[in-house]
Amino acid sequence: MDAGYARPAGGTSGPAVRSEVTPPRTGVKPELSPSKAVGEVQASEAAADAFGSGGEAGREALARTALRLFVERRTTLDAASRTLVTQMVLATGEVVGQFPDQGTMKLRAYMRELAEADRRPVFGDRRVGAVA
């Protein structure tokens, strides 16, 4: 099946040859004294458990521990929307997260006001069976 691409008239000349640059075989020796050279650092057992052998589970446990130390959770009842609000607050008092967000709470409060206004009887309204 022809896809409509232009083809070379003479065909291909064989496999593409890639010329790679090879690094020099001789390196340059550093002129640092042993006291200034960077050596291998031994990891502590806790760090090895958290990042090495523990893998992803160890990192998640470390993150949860850090969150518990620095973030406080507060749950309150919003009167306007009648919704439980959970906030994550730093020790400085700064709110770093909230569920549900402000937009959702405003929408719930507005919908609640509309529903309550629809339930109120209006004088002379035939929908609620008022006497005319």
- Asked if the structure places residue 55 within a domain, the reply is no
- For residue range 83-116, list pLDDT tens digits in order: 999 999 988 888 889 999 999 999 999 999 999 8
- Asked if the structure places residue 87 within a domain, the reply is yes
Structurally, the chain folds into a number of domains equal to: 1
- Asked if the structure places residue 10 within a domain, the reply is no
- Asked if the structure places residue 82 within a domain, the reply is yes
pLDDT above 90 coverage of the chain, percent? 20
Calculate the CA 25 to chain-centre distance.
46
- The pTM assigned to this predicted structure is 0.42
Cα–Cα distance measured from residue 124 to residue 29, given in angstroms and rounded to the nearest whole number:
99
| Domain carrying residue 75 | 70-121
| Burial group, residue 25, by CB count within 10 angstroms (0-12, 13-18, 19+) | exposed
List the structure tokens of 16: 């593409």
Q: What is the pLDDT of residue 64?
A: 79
Give the C-alpha distances (Å, rounded to integers) separating 44 from 38, 51, 61, 83, 100.
18, 11, 17, 46, 41
- Asked if the structure places residue 89 within a domain, the reply is yes
